[in-house]
Amino acid sequence: QVQLVESGGGVVQSGTSLRLSCAASGFTFSNHGIHWVRQAPGKGLEWVAVLYYDAITEYYADSVKGRFTISRDNSKNTVYLEMNSLRAEDTAVYYCVRDWNIRASAIYYFDYWGQGTLVTVSS
Amino acid sequence: IQVTQSPSSLSASVGDRVTITCRASQGMNSWLGWYQQKPEKAPKPLIYDTSKLESGVPSRFSGSRSGTDFTLTISSLQPEDFATYYCQQYSSYPPTFGGGTKVDIK
């Protein structure tokens, strides 16, 4: 079955960096775009970033552009989110999410979600 | 495209018919989905392309649209349906979510 397992969350100081990982299994990883979606405590959902199946095409929400970088290692079935210059407003549960589409541009419908990893940025 | 979800919360009883609406800020195609989220859990996809049920989702859930209004209906609320529901448009970039509707027990 499809599984996405995030790791790397924790408590960090404002202005510092953190790298999240997402290990995927149960599907052909290289066929799907992978997104990060976050949820601040008690708040709604916010799309953060995507890296297409081609491992080249990437897009970011304006709120993180220039600070966050998404990457993937198809040999390890893993996606990463490098987060720099962290701010208090980046505090959230970060979900790794699979794009529904196969070997094509991401369609931005999210059909499988990881359990999430909590990032807390203290000021 | 922004999606405005209403109501933000509602109280209902088991067996009730529940309706949640998302209004898009402009015209769009049918690329809208619905997710269910229970406390401390990841969102679970329910419906995609406005009205198509994900595998394993009970038939009491349904989706429809009228113009820029998209509706999630639960025909007979069950105890396991008490949760927060989110709509999400993927018709245009960037994808956006509604603010959520919390369904709790009356």
Tens digit of pLDDT for each residue in A17-42? 999 999 999 999 999 999 999 999 99
Name residues of chain A where pLDDT drops below 50: none
Interface probe with B: pick from A5, A64, A108, A118, most Cβ of B within 10 Å = A108
Task: Write down the pLDDT at residue A105.
Answer: 86
Q: What is the pLDDT of residues B1-55, one digit of tens each?
A: 999 999 999 999 999 999 999 999 999 999 999 999 999 999 999 999 999 999 9
The pair of structure tokens assigned to A49 is: 């970033």
Task: Write down the pLDDT at residue B16.
Answer: 97
Are residues B88 and A45, on separate chains, in Cβ contact within 8 Å? Answer: yes
Task: Write down the pLDDT at residue A104.
Answer: 85
Are residues A47 and B96, on separate chains, in Cβ contact within 8 Å? Answer: yes
**C-alpha span between A48 and A26 (Å, rounded):** 24
Q: A59: which chain B residues are within 8 Å (Cβ-Cβ)? A: 93-94
Task: Write down the pLDDT at residue A61.
Answer: 98
* A1: three-class secondary structure by DSSP: coil
Are residues A109 and B42, on separate chains, in Cβ contact within 8 Å? Answer: no
Are residues A113 and B93, on separate chains, in Cβ contact within 8 Å? Answer: no
* B80: three-class secondary structure by DSSP: helix
Nearest residue in chain A measured CA to CA from B39: A42
* For residue B106, pLDDT beyond 90: no
The count of other CB atoms within 10 Å of the CB of residue B106 is 9
Among candidate residues A63, A43, A30, the one with its CA nearest the CA of residue B94: A63
Task: Write down the pLDDT at residue B45.
Answer: 98
Q: What are phi and psi of B85, to 5 degrees?
A: -115, 140
CA terminus-to-terminus distance, chain A = 40
**C-alpha span between B3 and B49 (Å, rounded):** 15
